[in-house]
Structure 1
C-alpha cells in the first residue's frame, strides 16, 4: 500500500543559458532535467535530506525512473520556475513531481520521478531510512500519475552510437550522471528528426550504473506508435542493460516554441 509522506515542496528559478539550447534557440530536454534535479536538490536541502546529508551516512539518492511531458520549450534567456514536491512512497520507491512554469505562469511541462536510496560502499539499494520518512510537513499538492509499468522491448536496432565514459560524464556518485544517458539516447536518433520535431513525451528507466572507461552503446528504433522511438543503452563489454526509454515526438512547432 502506498504511504503518503507529504513533504513540503519548493520553488527554484532558472534562466536558460546559451550552453543549454539547441540550434533553434530552445532549451534542450537534458538541460530541463538538470533544472528539475537542481530544484529537487534545493528542496531536499531545506529538509535536511540532500545528497550531502545522505553521503554523511554512507548513502545517496539515485534516480530510478522519470516520465516527462513538455507543452512548450523555453527560449534562450527565458526565465522559468520549477516547482517540485515529494508525492508519495511505495516500499523503497520515493516519488517526486515537477512542474515548469514561465514568468507568466504558463505551464511549460511536468514530470514525475521515482527515487531510491543507495548504500555507497555496497552499491546496493536499501530500505528508506527513518530520518527520511520522518520528515513531516503538510501536504497540499495533488500528485501526478506515478510512472509504472513496463516499456516495450527494443527488438531490432535501427540506429546506434558508442560512447566511452570519461571523467566529465560522472557525478558525485562516481557514476554516469543520468542526463548524459538521455543525451546519448537522443544523439543516436536521425538528425532530421532532431531538427524538425520536438520531444513531446519521455519515459526513461535507469537500470544500472556505468563508470569511468566503460563503453556505452545507445541503440534506438522506431516503435509501432507514430513518431515514437524505443531506446536501449547497454554496457558494450558485459551486455548489461543500463537504460530503457521511450520517446514521442511532435511536428508541431507552433505548440512547442
Structure 2
C-alpha cells in the first residue's frame, strides 16, 4: 500500500468550502502516479518503453467531502492483474482514520507502438505487488449510454485538458459532466460515481455532451460528432445511496 498525506487546497474546493468530486479524483490519480514514479515505472519509464496505463473505468464512493485545510491521507494499491488489465483501489481517510471516500479503478496496459493492449511484464507486476481488494460493493465497469438525452453545448478540447499521454485527462471528463449538470440546474450533491472510458479525445477534438436524469441520478455522455462516446458518466446523490 502506498500513502500520501495532503491538506485540502483552496484550488480543490467549491463555494461551500468542501473538496469537489474532481478534487478527490485528482488526489487519487496523484497517489497512483507518485507510487509509479517511486517504483521506477512512472512517466519516464513508460515513455522510454512506449507503454501507457490507460484508465478504463472508475467507481468512486464518497461518504463526505473534506473541508478546506483539512488533512487527509490517501492510500492506493494494486488489487489484481489479469491479462492486460490492472485493478487499483483507493481510500481517503481523515485525521481520525475515518474513510471519507474510496474507489476502484480498472486500467488497460497499452503498447503505444503497436497501438494495442499488452500484458505488463512480470517485473512490472512484481514492482507493484498485489494486495486484497478493498471491501466494497463492486459495480459493473459498463455504464449504459443515456437514451434520448438533453444536449449540451459542444466543448472544444483545450491544452489544459491534456495529460502526459497527450489525451484528455480522465478527470476532465468528470469535470465537464458535473459542469454540464450544474449549468442545467441539476442538483450535484453526488456521493457515487461510475465512469466508463470508451476512447481518448485529443487536443482540438469537439466533445458533444448529452445527459438524462432520473430521481437522484444522472447519466452524461461526452461524444464525438457521430454520437460515439468518449466517456459515459453516471452520478448518484445521497438519496440514491443504500
Question: Does 1:247 pair with 2:239?
Answer: no
Deviation digits for residues 35-72 of structure 1 (CA, Å, limit 9, x no counterpart):
10111112222322223222211111111111000000
Q: Is the 8 A contact 1:157 1:219 kept in 2?
A: yes
Structure 1's 202 and 182: CA in aligned 2 closer, same or farther, altered over 3 A?
A: same
Q: Which runs of 5+ in 1 are unaligned?
A: 1-8, 253-257
Structure 1's 82 and 163: CA in aligned 2 closer, same or farther, altered over 3 A?
A: same
Give the match's secondary structure for 1:205: strand
Q: Is the 8 A contact 1:165 1:213 kept in 2?
A: yes
Question: Does 1:13 pair with 2:5?
Answer: yes
How far 1:142 sits from its partner (Å)? 4.6
Q: Is the 8 A contact 1:79 1:102 kept in 2?
A: yes
Structure 1's 123 and 184: CA in aligned 2 closer, same or farther, altered over 3 A?
A: farther
Structure 1's 140 and 213: CA in aligned 2 closer, same or farther, altered over 3 A?
A: closer
The aligned counterpart of 1:204 is: 195
The aligned counterpart of 1:255 is: none
Moved runs in structure 1, 4+ residues, more than 4 A? 140-147
Deviation digits for residues 182-205 of structure 1 (CA, Å, limit 9, x no counterpart):
1111111144434xx511100101
The counterpart of 1:233, out of the listed 202, 210, 222, is 222
How far 1:138 sits from its partner (Å)? 7.1
Structure 1's 15 and 159: CA in aligned 2 closer, same or farther, altered over 3 A?
A: farther
Deviation digits for residues 147-200 of structure 1 (CA, Å, limit 9, x no counterpart):
535323311112523110111111100111111111111111144434xx5111
Task: Compare 200-209 and 13-22 and name the one that shifted more.
Answer: 13-22
Number of aligned residue pairs:
239
- Cα distance in 1 for partners of 2:22, 2:152 equals 19
Task: Compare 182-191 and 136-145 and name the one that shifted more.
Answer: 136-145
The aligned counterpart of 1:78 is: 70
- Cα distance in 1 for partners of 2:151, 2:96 equals 40
Deviation digits for residues 19-38 of structure 1 (CA, Å, limit 9, x no counterpart):
11111111111111111011
Question: Does 1:173 pair with 2:162?
Answer: no
How far 1:207 sits from its partner (Å)? 1.0
Structure 1's 147 and 82: CA in aligned 2 closer, same or farther, altered over 3 A?
A: same
Task: Compare 184-193 and 37-46 and name the one that shifted more.
Answer: 184-193
The aligned counterpart of 2:212 is: 221
Q: Is the 8 A contact 1:95 1:146 kept in 2?
A: no
Normalised by the size of structure 2, how large is the TM-score? 0.90
Give the match's secondary structure for 1:188: helix
Task: Compare 55-64 and 126-135 and name the one that shifted more.
Answer: 126-135
The counterpart of 1:25, out of the listed 11, 14, 17, is 17
- Cα distance in 2 for partners of 1:71, 1:12 equals 20
Q: Is the 8 A contact 1:200 1:249 kept in 2?
A: yes
Question: For the aligned residues, what is the CA RMSD?
Answer: 2.1
- Cα distance in 2 for partners of 1:140, 1:166 equals 39
Task: Compare 39-48 and 19-28 and name the one that shifted more.
Answer: 39-48
The counterpart of 1:127, out of the listed 119, 133, 145, is 119
Give the match's secondary structure for 2:127: coil
